[in-house]
A and B are shown apart, each in its own frame.
Chain A
Amino acid sequence: MQFTLDKATRGQSLTIDLLPSGVIKSQLIRFGIMEGEKVTCLDRLVGGTVILQKKRLEIALGCDLAKSIMVTDEK
């Protein structure tokens, strides 16, 4: 099922489908958050801030940013 990242729940394994364009996309790519990449949603805070995990890297994404990223649930 495809949805925006801010809707993810804790512990979910996700595949990144679509990133917003512009400089922010390059910054996400540097962190290894690319289209087609698999990540884990480590946590979703109240208000929609999402913490993604890729190996030992933990990255916090603000709610508005999370809203602009499309992901698919692994299942």
Chain B
Amino acid sequence: MRSERANSKTNDTEQELEELILVEKKTKSLVLVGNPNVGKSLIFNYLSGMYAEVSNFPGTTVSITSANYKDYQLYDTPGIYGVSSFNDEERVARDIILDGDVILNVVNALNLERDLFLTLQLIDMGKRVSVILNMMDEVKKKKLRIDTKKLSEILGVNIYETSAIKKIGFEKLDEAIKSAKVGRQDKPIQPAVGGLKEIYEVVKVKSHSLLILEGDKELTKQYLLNYHNDDLREEIYINRRNRVNEIVDLTESEDTKQGIFFSKLGRLCLNPVSGIPILILVLALIYFFVGDLISQRLVNYTENTIGKNYFEYWTKTFISKYTSVDITAKILNDNNEVIDQKTFHFPNGIDSDHIIYQSFKNFSVNRNNEKSFHFYHPIPSFFFGEFGVITMTLTYLIFLLLPLVIAFYFSLALLEDSGYLPRLAALVDKSFTKIGLNGRAIIPIILGFGCVTMATITTRILGTEREKSIATAILQFTIPCSAQLAVIAVLLSGAGLKAILIYSFVILLVMILTSTILNKIIPGQSSPLLLDLPPMRIPQLNNVFKKTYYRTIGFMKEATPWFFVGAAGIGLMQLTGILEIWHEVLKPFTVQLLQLPKEAATAFVMGMIRRDFGAAGLFELDLTAEQIVIALITITLFVPCIASFVIMLKERGWKQGLIVWSGTWIFAFLIGGLVSHIII
């Protein structure tokens, strides 16, 4: 495979960004700039031989990916509609563009109307630009005609036609970089002349002066200028917009009217009469794929058969040759009820006593059974016992989580690539405004079902601090991430339909209540929805697989150390007796309030490290269907994992982060207890 994980540099603060630029300023910088969803990342991947994520919905890349390309430092930027500072993505992109030596402006040929605004702005800024006119294959398919030569003349820069998905035209990218030049700038509008001159005398940089003239507050502040004029920006924008319209009229012609299948499908997704059934269908498909096929059938096999019966059994048997052990074999009937049970003692390891070992084998052979190993010594017990750092962790990670996480990321990638998500955002907008968000917030929330940590970063796409706060609280409090969801799906589907309904109802209710209350108490107003809807398309399987692969690898890399740390921590707590004390301390809550066995407290310790790890801890307990529901509700609402907690502190600050974190403690137990006393 050509790609490798990109040396992705996520820049959380402007300061880090500046440092990054300073360090890398020695080489020239080459910046890929374009509207969302135009193929920048595909070009980045091609040039760098590395991997940057490709999506079919606006507003997911809030970070910069960078790589070396020949003599250049190459940057991939978030998709933007213009250079300004209306939101976080624009701010991040703006800084890189201002410092860029060469700009490759990627333009969607199907959407010149929209994309050329940015192109003209880049040219007006006096940057060296080449235009990559992408999606030319689609243009031909749709019987559109674009007069590239004329367009190039008008803009005063070179234009290169490509189809990024098929890598057509990529051989000319090098030439595009070399031939980048300053284009034909707008005949300055009258009030701007004086203003621009005045600013330029102080600032000395054309691109900076133009943005200041267009009312960029941050840049203005940077130069200690006292200049702000919203009306002038509007005037410049209207003028630029009119130029775009003229250029499009001159260079583009259409042979047929569109109205083919996909634009119809796109419309059907929006219409409530068909949109809601489509939503239900999409959710049902995901449920059958992730919730049933993978989490029930496949995981049942991988976890119990491969993981427990083979991997753990073989490992434990191997260890038992060298150390003292008691092995308990439980014979189960078809309903997994214990019908017979026997414990075999091997004080000198299983090899030392062939007669007992044979009778143990005879007892369990050809019968549905479960074996548990009890090692006498603490060290084998620590690594291979009940919470064995090696046995339990590997089974959870590889045989339980891995298949589920792959399945989830795969479904998510399909959804992202199809262009469905922005339509979903439009569909849910009205309901979301009632809870202080706009439809855009569906994107971090859906991503949250993948990984809450990642989703918390994505809240940056929301327009106001208020919305970011509300969305972060919802994410950290009520949204189970894919790994936790996986474990929940396995436990819940075992507990029956009623359990699923109660769980979903309670979590949804808590989500609505939380956001409604926050909407009431946080001052201010939320921003309105203004969203560009990319065309629906058949997901590019190649891209879907790649994305699933890289995200899964990323997830496993992040999760694995935490699982070992967590298992080691629990193992130590068990060995030293602290676990027992913790059980007693939490007993009033677990036993009286939640009506769970006191061992459930272990799950809460584990849950602080990783949410899924916490839910996985419930596997070890023998719970009734009602208890499963209560335990899962509590663990879902309970504190977010360490990683997302840290990100939350970073994104939302100490005060807010700690309020949300401690709030989850109180409300998880409170709501869990309430439900417990209602249903038990």
- The answer on a CB contact under 8 Å between B241 and A32 is yes
The one of B117, B431, B531 in contact with A60, judged by C-beta atoms closer than 8 angstroms, is B531
- The answer on a CB contact under 8 Å between B234 and A62 is no
Can you list 27 A-B contacts with CB-CB less than 8 angstroms, sorted by A residue number? Answer: A23-B230, A24-B527, A25-B234, A29-B234, A29-B241, A30-B81, A30-B82, A30-B237, A32-B241, A43-B267, A43-B270, A43-B271, A46-B272, A47-B431, A48-B430, A49-B427, A57-B111, A57-B113, A59-B530, A59-B533, A60-B425, A60-B426, A60-B429, A60-B532, A62-B438, A62-B528, A65-B529
Interface residue A51 (Cβ < 8 Å from any Cβ of B): yes
CB distance from B221 to the nearest CB of A (A): 16
Docked pose: A46 CA to B276 CA in angstroms: 11
Q: Which of B242-268 contact A (CB under 8 A)?
A: 244-245, 248, 258, 266-267
Docked pose: A21 CA to B231 CA in angstroms: 9
Contacts A62-B433, A64-B433: A29 and B238 contacting too (C-beta < 8 A)?
Answer: yes
Interface residue B184 (Cβ < 8 Å from any Cβ of A): no
Interface residue A61 (Cβ < 8 Å from any Cβ of B): yes
- B416-448: contact bitstring with A at CB < 8 Å (1 yes, 0 no)? 000000100111011101000011000000000
Hey, which chain B residues are within 8 Å of A57, CB to CB?
111, 113-114, 532
- The answer on a CB contact under 8 Å between A29 and B426 is no
Docked pose: A70 CA to B84 CA in angstroms: 26
Interface residue B86 (Cβ < 8 Å from any Cβ of A): yes
- A33-61: contact bitstring with B at CB < 8 Å (1 yes, 0 no)? 01000000011011111010011111111
- The answer on a CB contact under 8 Å between A32 and B244 is yes
Q: Which of B265-298 contact A (CB under 8 A)?
A: 266-267, 270-272, 275
Interface residue A18 (Cβ < 8 Å from any Cβ of B): no
Interface residue B631 (Cβ < 8 Å from any Cβ of A): no
- The answer on a CB contact under 8 Å between A65 and B528 is yes
For B532, the closest partner residue in chain A by CB is A59
Contacts A23-B86, A57-B111: A62 and B533 contacting too (C-beta < 8 A)?
Answer: no
- The answer on a CB contact under 8 Å between A31 and B114 is yes
Docked pose: A65 CA to B525 CA in angstroms: 13
Interface residue B233 (Cβ < 8 Å from any Cβ of A): yes
- The answer on a CB contact under 8 Å between B266 and A58 is yes
Hey, which chain B residues are within 8 Å of A30, CB to CB?
81-82, 117, 237, 241
The one of A22, A29, A60 in contact with B529, judged by C-beta atoms closer than 8 angstroms, is A60
Docked pose: A50 CA to B588 CA in angstroms: 53
CB distance from A23 to the nearest CB of B (A): 6
Docked pose: A24 CA to B233 CA in angstroms: 12
For A23, the closest partner residue in chain B by CB is B86
The one of B113, B230, B425 in contact with A56, judged by C-beta atoms closer than 8 angstroms, is B113
Interface residue B133 (Cβ < 8 Å from any Cβ of A): no
Docked pose: A61 CA to B248 CA in angstroms: 24
For B245, the closest partner residue in chain A by CB is A32
Interface residue B211 (Cβ < 8 Å from any Cβ of A): no
- The answer on a CB contact under 8 Å between B528 and A64 is yes
* Centre residue among B84, B530, B531 by max chain A CB count within 10 A: B530
Hey, which chain B residues are within 8 Å of A23, CB to CB?
86, 230
- The answer on a CB contact under 8 Å between B532 and A31 is yes
Contacts A28-B530, A59-B530: A49 and B237 contacting too (C-beta < 8 A)?
Answer: no
- The answer on a CB contact under 8 Å between B429 and A54 is no
Interface residue B110 (Cβ < 8 Å from any Cβ of A): yes
For A29, the closest partner residue in chain B by CB is B237
* Centre residue among B82, B258, B433, B529 by max chain A CB count within 10 A: B529
Docked pose: A54 CA to B439 CA in angstroms: 21
Hey, which chain B residues are within 8 Å of A43, CB to CB?
267, 270-271
Docked pose: A56 CA to B248 CA in angstroms: 12
Contacts A30-B81, A43-B270, A62-B439: A54 and B529 contacting too (C-beta < 8 A)?
Answer: no
Hey, which chain B residues are within 8 Å of A32, CB to CB?
113-114, 117, 241, 244-245
List 19 additional contacts besides A31-B530, A57-B113; criterion CB under 8 Å: A24-B527, A25-B234, A26-B233, A28-B530, A30-B81, A32-B114, A43-B270, A43-B271, A45-B275, A49-B430, A54-B113, A56-B535, A57-B111, A59-B533, A60-B426, A60-B529, A60-B531, A61-B529, A63-B433
Docked pose: A48 CA to B529 CA in angstroms: 11
Hey, which chain A residues are within 8 Å of B248, CB to CB?
55
For A64, the closest partner residue in chain B by CB is B528
Docked pose: A23 CA to B234 CA in angstroms: 9
Docked pose: A17 CA to B230 CA in angstroms: 19
CB distance from B294 to the nearest CB of A (A): 33
The one of B110, B234, B532 in contact with A26, judged by C-beta atoms closer than 8 angstroms, is B234
- The answer on a CB contact under 8 Å between B234 and A49 is no
Docked pose: A22 CA to B231 CA in angstroms: 9
Interface residue A2 (Cβ < 8 Å from any Cβ of B): no
CB distance from B537 to the nearest CB of A (A): 13
- The answer on a CB contact under 8 Å between B528 and A59 is no
- The answer on a CB contact under 8 Å between B433 and A34 is no
Docked pose: A15 CA to B230 CA in angstroms: 24
- The answer on a CB contact under 8 Å between A27 and B81 is yes
- The answer on a CB contact under 8 Å between A60 and B533 is yes
Hey, which chain B residues are within 8 Å of A46, CB to CB?
272, 430
- The answer on a CB contact under 8 Å between B530 and A65 is yes
Hey, which chain B residues are within 8 Å of A21, CB to CB?
230
- B108-123: contact bitstring with A at CB < 8 Å (1 yes, 0 no)? 0011011001000000
Hey, which chain A residues are within 8 Å of B535, CB to CB?
56
Docked pose: A43 CA to B266 CA in angstroms: 11
Hey, which chain B residues are within 8 Å of A28, CB to CB?
530
Docked pose: A54 CA to B112 CA in angstroms: 11
- The answer on a CB contact under 8 Å between B113 and A45 is no
CB distance from A30 to the nearest CB of B (A): 5
